[in-house]
Amino acid sequence: MDCHVHYSSPGGPEWIARFTDPLPEISMRAVELAETSLRSGVTTARDVGAPEGVSIRLARAARAGEVRAPNIRAAGTWIAHRGTYVSFARLFKEAGELRNAIKTEIEAGADLIKVALAGWNEGARPQDAPDIPFDKKLLAVAVEEAHKAGFKIACHANDAASCRIAAHAGVDSLEHGMFLEAQDLEAMVKYKTYLVPTMSVWDAMLYYARAVDWPEARRKRAEDLRQGSRVAVTAGIKAGVRIALGTDAGGGAARHGRIAREAELMVECGMEPRDALIAATSSAAALIGESERGTIEAGKIADLVLLDANPLENIGALRLIVDVFQEGRRVG
Ligand SMILES: [Zn+2]
């Protein structure tokens, strides 16, 4: 299971621009990328945000058997504060608008809510405004609204201030979390908040920094993010934070179909191969809310990946896919 994908973008060096491609292109590509993902062994995925709610339509098509795709749980469109983060998210300014945004996503058919904390975009910060406008109070509103409706809430946090706010808010999962500190990790244990580290993104960014010859400042940022992520994940493992595997394929430079890399990075950060597999199966199932999936047991749905070697001995064996089975049927 991959708990953090965006089938609406292919990833790669210009991933953000790909989210603003014409809608027909985004839609057709999403179908293709979901199939790529399935063939790479992802039988269930959480699509945590797409322009115009494309992910909801894709999840529906997958459920109806209209397309070859993983079982998808979709957040519709991201929810973010006006003036921050990406402009194609659903934007709000006040608590009332935030509540409406969440209701709108639920009515549109979202399976979960995805909010994004972030600082003001360059130059957009009004005078006397806080650094992070989507603050503790507003996040509490979002958590309350989502949980009241029986929905889980995932929170994008990729700077120190956002990590601090998200870790103490009781969200179901904290996405990215590169700058989580000891007290944040403690709070996540207390609130039973999952960390979805998405380390594949920084790994891929560094690759493109070299391959595409990025400017020095952008390369440096990629290095810092990777380092921050490794420190946070290593500390999170030690602190006993629940961790679920997610690549952020499409939502960053990471491409689809390479889930094995994320598991390798987890092991590099000190996780036992067994625990990396649990992060990608039963823990992921618990986070996504898939009680019929995630373990191999009599009576459960038979989503299976057949490998040529034992991943408990070498996690890289996840690359050696022989076959993929979905609900007992061979789809690989
Ligand atoms: Zn993402």
Q: How far away, in angstroms, is 299 Cα from ligand 1 center?
A: 33
User: Is the distance from CB of 262 to CB of 200 less than 8 angstroms?
Assistant: yes
Pick the closest to residue 251 from 3, 4, 53, 85 (CA basis): 4
Q: How far away, in angstroms, is 310 Cα from ligand 1 center?
A: 30
Q: How far away, in angstroms, is 308 Cα from ligand 1 center?
A: 30
Q: How far away, in angstroms, is 5 Cα from ligand 1 center?
A: 6
Q: How much of the chain exceeds pLDDT 70, in percent?
A: 100
Q: How far away, in angstroms, is 283 Cα from ligand 1 center?
A: 19
Q: How far away, in angstroms, is 162 Cα from ligand 1 center?
A: 15
Q: How far away, in angstroms, is 49 Cα from ligand 1 center?
A: 7
Q: How far away, in angstroms, is 326 Cα from ligand 1 center?
A: 25
- In this prediction, residue 204 has a pLDDT band, given cuts at 50, 70 and 90, of very high
What does the mean pLDDT of the chain come to? 95
**In angstroms, what CA-CA distances link 40 with 70, 269, 271?**
10, 23, 22
pTM to 2 decimal places: 0.96
Q: How far away, in angstroms, is 90 Cα from ligand 1 center?
A: 15
Report the C-alpha gap between 41 and 2 in whole angstroms.
10
pLDDT tens across 295-307, in order? Answer: 999 999 999 999 9
pLDDT tens across 39-95, in order? Answer: 999 999 999 999 999 999 999 999 999 999 999 999 999 999 998 888 789 999 999
Q: Please tell me the chain's helix, strand, coil percentages from 3-state DSSP, rounded to the nearest 5.
A: 45, 15, 40
pLDDT value for 214: 86
Q: How far away, in angstroms, is 128 Cα from ligand 1 center?
A: 30
Pick the closest to residue 120 from 146, 91, 98 (CA basis): 91
Q: Tokens in use for 159?
A: 């700077």
Q: How far away, in angstroms, is 6 Cα from ligand 1 center?
A: 6
pLDDT value for 213: 82
Is the pLDDT reported for residue 26 higher than 80? yes
Is the pLDDT reported for residue 263 higher than 80? yes
Q: How far away, in angstroms, is 284 Cα from ligand 1 center?
A: 16
13 burial (CB, 10 Å; 0-12 / 13-18 / 19+) is middle
Q: How far away, in angstroms, is 4 Cα from ligand 1 center?
A: 6
Instruction: Using DSSP bridges, classify how beta strands 173-176 and 90-92 pair: parallel, antiparallel or unpaired.
Output: unpaired
